[in-house]
Each structure stands twice: as C-alpha cells, then as structure tokens.
C-alpha cells in the first residue's frame, strides 16, 4: 500500500506545481494586456496630438503660455534672440540680381511679414508655439513682382501630395471666411495653392480636394511651408513648446504651493500658552496687538504665561527643489537651464549663466539653417519670376530658365544669381581676433576686396552690411576702394576696359 500512496502524493505535488505555473502565466498575460492597453492609449493619444486638429488645439494653448508663463515666454524669446538677434545678411555677386533681392527685402510689405525685425521675431516664436508657418507669395505674372502674406495655420485644411509620394506636397488646401461687399455678407471660400516648387507644364484650373469636391487653383499664389520637429512621414510640424508646457505648469504649481506654505508658516510666528481659558483669551488679545505692531513688536506677559516661537524645523521646503522641473523645460526648448533661469544655481558661477555652450550653439545654428533655407527658397522664386515675366527686371536671364520635372529654375551664368545668406557667428570670439584673422587672410591676396569688407563689417556688428558694400561696387560688381576719388575710380575703370580691349562709354556694363 505504500507505493500507491507515494504515487498519489507525487501526482498531487506535480498538480500543485502546474496550477502555480498556470497562475503565474495568467498574471503575466494580464500584465502584458495592461501594458498593451497603455501603449495603445499612448499611441492613440499621439495620433490625436500629431493630427491637424490636435496641433491646432495645442497651438492655442501654447500661444497663451507664451504670454502668461514666464518660463515659456523667456525660452521662446531667447531662442528668437539667438536666431535673429544679430540680424542676417543676404546678397548676390551680380548688381542686377542683388538689386532685385535688396529691393524685395526692403519693401515695407515684405518687412512687415518676413524680413523686418519684428516679423522675424514673430515668425520664430510662431514656430515655437505652432510648429508651422505658411507664407503665400502673390505674384504679378506680367511684371514678376512678388509680395508675401501670412496664412493662418487654422485656414490650411489639407495637403495634396504627389501620387505615390507622400513626402512631396503639391497643393495646400485653404478654407477661410471673408466679407464680400457685393453679396453683403460673410462667405466661406476654399481654394488650392500650389507649393512653391510645384510648377508643372500643364496647369489645371481646378483640383480634387475631397470626395466629390474640387477647388480652384491659385497658380499665381504659391505657398512656402516652414515646419519644425517633423518626424518621417509627418506633414505637420510640432511646436517646441509641446514638450515644455506640461513641465512649465508643474514648475508654476510648485512655486504656487511653496508660496502658500511659506505664507501659512509666516501667519503663525509665536505660540503662547495660558493656564486657563480666561488667560488664553487675554493672551489672544495681546498677540493681536503684537501683530498690529508689525515686526519688532513686544509683548508683556505674566510669569505664568509661556511665549515661544513656532518651530519651523521640518516644515520648510527649499524652492531650489523645483530646479529639476525647470531643467525639463529648458531641455524641451534646447536651452541650458542656467540661461533659461538667468541663474547659475547654488553652486554655479555667474559666467556659467552667461556662456553659450557648444551643444546649445549648434542647436541655434540649426534653427538658423531652417530660416536660411526658407529665405533662399523664397528669394530664388522672386528672382525666377523677375526672369520669366515679360516685364521682369531680370528678363535678360530668361533664356537660362530650365524646367526640371514640375519645377523651374534659373541657371545663373557665372554664379551671378548665387545667394549668400549669412548669420553672424554665435560664439564669443573677440573682435580683435576676428579682425586679425580677416586681415591675415586678406594679406594673402586670395580674397576679393568686397568679401574682405563684408567680413570686417560683420565682425564689427555693423547693420545693413550688404547695402554698405553695394555702395563701393560698380555696376559690374567690381570693388571701389572707399578712399578712392571719382577720378581714380574712373581711371581704374578705363584701365580695366583697355586691358579687356574695350573702349567707349565708361559707364557701360563690363
């Protein structure tokens, strides 16, 4: 009888072990299901946040925080100051193309929207709050004149991409409301605007913008889209403030709670104990008089009354405890926390809060590259229209316009229309060091004099560098020394003409 009992006991143990393992597996499956649900919720939330509706909804909150929250406001303005605070220079080597560029950038309507100081700050902050900026470029097809307008992000309702290529946007669909005097009421309008580089040979008057819906195409008003923080396959940009706003709120809540705690502790500074209720009531009246006297007051008490300060040990919270939260805000905006807070902290030095380190400088230079590309694309379009228009200022270059797929461009002979877009350096190199380096480079006689002059002016932080340099170049782009007299300049021009085997009118373009 012993063997069957042993077998039964063994089977019972194996069954218990199997049941235990099954229970562990069930718990693991439940944990995985909970984790999957968490990831599913996170993914769904991300899809909502990255959609057009989610980006617009968040942008409205970001705009309020950019005004109301000190950390977000300072962070966005700091980024704007790093990007555009020292200005930006734009020029070409050819007098004709440079004249078109400078006149367009100096146009009051262009300065208001794109090239002016206020416009540059506003556009950079818009990238910080919205992540997207849309520029429309209305064009006169006869004269080639181009203006620039803002399109609110809320009015862009969709993007039409090339067949089989989601990355290439061909049209931006816009829907807006405007008052029509002829109709005497506000009407809703919808139109499609071509992307800046989309210029096909065949231009349809209408395109499909939805199921059984078409919209007219505004071919003379292309749109350029500036977007930041785009992930692969994402059509809309994401604002810099998106990942900073939550932490900025937490920091504000911490300071609010810390303020309330300090205020609560300061309301009860003394503790008085009486032997009975009557004595305690008398003490309350005396303490009220003490509070009325303000700081430095005194109280006259009997020998049987005890008055001691309220203990604060363990009740205080250091405000520096919130610094890691502010660090998260700074990290989201690409800034050092010392710069964002204007404070090196308890153990830092003042120089730490005033120095722009290499990673931050590279981030800001990357943001400058975004605007350098935007300026290049828009100005290339301005020069293209001046070349292709029947009455355009650069119509002599019309024969150099080529069609490449759905895009047109000008092949400038000799690089005459090559744009130079320069932001002053963000490092703290002393002016003496910069000027010495430029002087040594100029001494090699390998640098054009106009380039040397341009570099020196930028090293000295002079405004309107391109306009100043243009005053010392002739119509052919040759440099005229600032100290040269008119006779010397004309003599130099005559010598150049003689060497080239030409004669005649000295004012003729070489």
- Looking up tokens 């470029």 gives 137
What pLDDT score was predicted for residue 296? 47
For residues 337 and 256, is the Cβ–Cβ distance under 8 A? no
Residues 6 or more apart from 25 whose CB is under 8 A from it?
A: none
Which residue, 243, 161, 250, is CA-closest to 207?
Answer: 161
Task: Please count the other Cβ atoms lying within 10 Å of the Cβ belonging to residue 192.
Answer: 24
Percent of the chain's residues with pLDDT above 90: 42
Round to whole Å and give the CA distance between 140 and 98.
Answer: 20
Q: How confident is the model at residue 68 (pLDDT cuts 50, 70, 90)?
A: very high
Mean pLDDT score, 480-504: 58
484 or 230: which leads in pLDDT: 230
What pLDDT score was predicted for residue 319? 73
What pLDDT score was predicted for residue 495? 59
* Secondary structure (3-state) at 410: strand
The pTM (predicted TM-score) of the whole model is: 0.73
Q: Can you read off the two tokens belonging to residue 154?
A: 């809320």
Mean pLDDT score, 431-456: 80
What pLDDT digit, counting tens, does each position of 129-175 carry?
Answer: 999 999 999 999 999 999 999 999 999 999 999 988 888 999 999 99
What pLDDT score was predicted for residue 301? 54
What pLDDT digit, counting tens, does each position of 201-231 carry?
Answer: 899 999 999 888 999 999 999 999 999 998 8
Distance separating the N- and C-terminal Cα atoms of the chain: 121
Work out the mean pLDDT of the chain and round it to a whole number: 80
What pLDDT digit, counting tens, does each position of 270-317 carry?
Answer: 566 656 666 666 666 666 655 544 544 445 555 566 656 655 555 556
Q: How confident is the model at residue 42 (pLDDT cuts 50, 70, 90)?
A: very low
Which residue, 319, 343, 340, 320, is CA-closest to 328?
Answer: 340
Q: How confident is the model at residue 46 (pLDDT cuts 50, 70, 90)?
A: low
Q: State the DSSP code for 200.
A: -
What pLDDT score was predicted for residue 227? 95
156 or 41: which leads in pLDDT: 156
For residues 403 and 446, is the Cβ–Cβ distance under 8 A? no
Mean pLDDT score, 175-193: 90
Task: Please count the other Cβ atoms lying within 10 Å of the Cβ belonging to residue 2.
Answer: 6
């Amino acid at each position: 009888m012993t063997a069957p009992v042993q077998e039964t006991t063994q089977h019972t143990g194996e069954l218990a072990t199997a049941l235990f393992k099954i229970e562990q597996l069930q718990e693991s499956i439940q944990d995985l299901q909970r984790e999957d649900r968490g990831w599913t919720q996170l993914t769904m939330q991300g899809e909502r946040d990255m959609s057009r509706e989610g980006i617009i909804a968040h942008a409205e909150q970001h705009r309020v925080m950019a005004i109301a929250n000190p950390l977000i406001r300072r962070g966005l303005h700091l980024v704007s100051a790093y990007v555009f605070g020292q200005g930006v220079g734009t020029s070409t080597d050819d007098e004709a193309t440079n004249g078109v560029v400078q006149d367009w950038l100096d146009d009051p309507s262009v300065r208001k929207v794109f090239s002016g100081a206020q416009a540059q700050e506003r556009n950079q902050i818009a990238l910080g709050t919205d992540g997207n900026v849309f520029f429309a470029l209305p064009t006169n097809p006869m004269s080639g004149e181009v203006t620039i307008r803002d399109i609110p992000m809320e009015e862009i309702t969709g993007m039409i991409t090339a067949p089989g290529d989601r990355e290439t946007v061909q049209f931006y669909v816009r829907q807006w409301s405007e008052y029509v005097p002829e109709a005497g009421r506000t009407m809703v309008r919808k139109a499609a605007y071509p992307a800046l580089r989309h210029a096909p040979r065949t231009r349809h008057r209408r395109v499909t913008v939805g199921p059984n819906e078409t919209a007219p195409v505004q071919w003379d008003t292309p749109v350029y889209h500036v977007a930041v923080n785009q992930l692969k396959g994402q059509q809309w940009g994401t604002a810099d403030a998106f990942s900073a706003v939550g932490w900025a709120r937490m920091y504000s809540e911490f300071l609010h709670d810390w303020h309330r705690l300090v205020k609560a502790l300061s309301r009860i500074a003394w503790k008085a104990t009486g032997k009975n209720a009557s004595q305690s009531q008398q003490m309350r009246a005396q303490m009220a008089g003490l509070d009325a006297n303000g700081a430095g007051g005194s109280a006259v008490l009997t020998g049987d009354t005890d008055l001691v300060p309220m203990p604060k040990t363990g009740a205080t919270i250091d405000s520096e405890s919130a610094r890691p939260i502010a660090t998260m805000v700074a990290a989201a905006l690409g800034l050092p926390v010392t710069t964002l807070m204007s404070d090196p902290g308890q153990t830092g030095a003042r120089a730490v809060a005033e120095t722009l380190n290499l990673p931050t400088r590279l981030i800001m230079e990357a943001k400058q590259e975004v605007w350098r590309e935007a300026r290049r694309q828009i100005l290339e379009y301005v020069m293209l229209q001046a070349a292709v228009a029947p009455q355009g200022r650069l119509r002599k270059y019309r024969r150099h316009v080529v069609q490449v797929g759905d895009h047109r461009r000008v092949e400038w002979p000799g690089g005459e229309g090559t744009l130079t877009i320069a932001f002053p350096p963000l490092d703290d190199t002393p002016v003496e060091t910069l000027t010495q380096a430029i002087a040594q480079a100029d001494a090699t006689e390998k640098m054009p004099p106009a380039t040397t002059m341009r570099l020196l002016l930028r090293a000295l932080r002079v405004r309107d560098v391109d306009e100043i340099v243009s005053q010392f170049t002739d119509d052919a782009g040759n440099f005229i020394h600032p100290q040269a007299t008119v006779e010397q300049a004309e003599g130099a021009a005559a010598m150049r003409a003689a060497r080239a085997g030409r004669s005649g009118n000295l004012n003729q373009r070489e």
